[in-house]
Amino acid sequence: MLRGLLSFSSMTMVSRVLGLVRDSVITTTFGTNAVTDAFWVAFRVPNFLRRLFAEGSFATAFVPVFTEVKETRSHEELRELMARVAGTLAGVLMVVTALGLIFAPQLANLFASGADTDPAKQGLLVDLFRLTFPFLFFVSLTALAGGALNSFQRFAMPALTPVILNLCMIAGALWLAPRMDVPILALGWSVLVAGLLQLLFQLPSLKGINLLTLPRWGWRHPGVRRVMTLMIPTLFGSSVAQINLLLDTVIAAKLTDGSQSWLSLADRFLELPLGVFGVALGTVILPALARHHVGTDRDGFSNALDWGLRMTLLIAIPAMLGLLLLAEPLIATLFQHGEFTAFDTRMTALAVYGLSAGLPAFALLKIVLPAYYARQDTRTPVRAGIAALVANMVFNFILLAVLYHVMVPAELRAQGVMQALGQQPGLHLALGIASALSSYLNLGLLWYWLGKTDVYQRRPGWGRFLVRLGVSCAAMVAVLLALLQWLPAFTPMGLWERIGALALLVGGGGLTYLLVQGMLGLRPRDLRGH
């Protein structure tokens, strides 16, 4: 599993780093304003549906069924399953995409800033929705191909595919936007083109494993019915974080201009460690867990899960601490150019503080959920997901109320609640904290119910592992605090000064963590899967 993890992680790292470059180009070119917010909203909705249907519920339902057929039946039966699933998925996606195009004005109304929304900006949001929604169709089929490749231990190509999206959006911002009457529409066209190119990019690899077949409708096919039966409950269970993010988008639309952009950028910072390690681990471990389950290898199942948990904590805890301490230096260095101001840096940092506190939970969910899906248990994650979803909304309103009374001055409050929400910056912090808290609740419930199934037996050495982790993190934090105290403030620095100072912080903190881990006994063999 380690080899698969390294392959997936290295390719994902390229994609996520390019994602940061992409967002830097967008913020530098367009700034953080109502127009940029409109694009992020229009992109977030189909992207949410992609994660919900394709990478979320569909992937977690498809991979166990696909793996079982791969391990127990002929390759021709596997090709038949692939053709029927692809055809059925494509049919459903056509309907969903068509509905998105037809009801784009209604979606724009839902995500608008309020009653005083500029009609021109409202029309822009409609146009952006109609450009970005077909992305869902192409990228969901891409995820299907990626799930099949992952089951054959081909992790690199699916992980590298998102690079195409980032490259297209960078080209759209730098090359196409200056040539358009409405520059922000260039990003919409970039997303549409990227979706098609991502699908085409996967096809040669799919042909290499002899699974490139003509899609056929197969609603009554037994394999398709099993995938759909497993998929429907997982719509909530595997994608609670994404549903929370979408609901947060609706609430953020009522806050001050720029809130959508600040939250989107903050989510990007979480996507780097979460995508490179959390999602990578979940992607690699799901086929392994499914294979152990099919083979009734209980010890292998438990060992694979234990390895995934340790690897996740080894990365997620220091990543969380690093983001909490280095949010402003990171944001200032990467984004504070052109239209992106020091004020935007501070506001984005607030969102990072809130969201990064939940990074360990977000990452561990990527490991714990496959433990259920590999055994084709989709009901339990639904129960936990619904509880977390409700809790997220409750946390949103409670924390917004608290910050409203703490941050909003009396003279602004006198103008009315909705007016105050739309003018007071910083209230988006509540949304980040609420997402983090609800993710911990989701994780806690899943862990509690997993313990009752008795499918996981802790391997020896957890006490030593946690002590080593705690001491290493403490040493890293001490070094970072000392360096931050010594270095001047980041926002007034020039670009190259920021790059040098950030390199010192990241290098000093990361090297300290690794050195202390090594001094306390961490060895390469400890990272290998079992």
pLDDT of residue 114: 46
The tokens describing 425, both together, are 């910056």
Task: Give yes or no for residue 472 having a pLDDT over 90.
Answer: yes
Give 294-313 as a 3 state SS string.
HCCCHHHHHHHHHHHHHHHH
- Residue spans of alpha helices (H) in 111-221: 119-132, 135-151, 156-160, 163-171, 185-208
pTM to 2 decimals?
Answer: 0.72
pLDDT of residue 288: 65
Q: What is the C-alpha separation between 117 and 358, in angstroms, rounded?
A: 33
Percentage of the chain lying above the pLDDT 70 cut: 85
Angle between helices 34-49 and 240-252 (to 10 degrees): 160
Interval 159-179: pLDDT, tens: 778 889 999 999 999 999 999
Dihedral sign, Cα of residue 187, residue 192, residue 194, residue 195: positive
Q: What is the C-alpha separation between 488 and 490, in angstroms, rounded?
A: 6
The tokens describing 296, both together, are 């009734």
Mean per-residue pLDDT, 367-379: 78
Distance set, CA 217 to CA 30, 70, 87, 147, 350 (Å)? 43, 21, 5, 19, 48
Beta-carbon contacts of 445 under 8 Å, excluding residues fewer than 6 positions away, are 383, 384, 387, 388
Q: 175-210 burial by CB neighbour count: b if 16+ within 10 A, else e?
A: ebbeeeeebbbbbbbbbbbbbbbbbebbeebbeeee
Q: Do residues 300 and 292 touch, judged by C-beta distance below 8 A?
A: yes
Strands (E), 231-307: none
DSSP class of residue 177 equals G
Name the residue among 399, 52, 397, 16 with its Cα closest to residue 241: 52
Q: How far is CA 159 from the centre of its chain?
A: 13
Q: Is 416 left (phi over 0), alpha (psi -120 to 50) or beta?
A: left
Taking 3-state DSSP, the helix, strand and coil percentages for the chain, each rounded to the nearest 5, stand at 80, 0, 20
Q: Is 458 left (phi over 0), alpha (psi -120 to 50) or beta?
A: beta
Structural element, H or E, at residue 382: helix 379-407
Under the banding of pLDDT at 50, 70 and 90, the label for residue 192 is very high
Task: Give yes or no for residue 237 having a pLDDT over 80.
Answer: no
Mean per-residue pLDDT, 389-405: 91
Under the banding of pLDDT at 50, 70 and 90, the label for residue 233 is low
Mean per-residue pLDDT, 32-40: 82
Percentage of the chain lying above the pLDDT 90 cut: 32
Task: Give yes or no for residue 194 having a pLDDT over 70.
Answer: yes
Interval 98-136: pLDDT, tens: 998 999 888 888 776 543 456 667 788 899 999 998 998
Q: Do residues 362 and 439 touch, judged by C-beta distance below 8 A?
A: yes
Q: Do residues 529 and 1 touch, judged by C-beta distance below 8 A?
A: yes
pLDDT of residue 115: 37
Q: Which residue has the higher pLDDT, 117 or 450?
A: 450
Q: Do residues 433 and 361 touch, judged by C-beta distance below 8 A?
A: no
Q: Which residue has the higher pLDDT, 213 or 47?
A: 213
Q: What is the C-alpha separation between 338 and 317, in angstroms, rounded?
A: 33
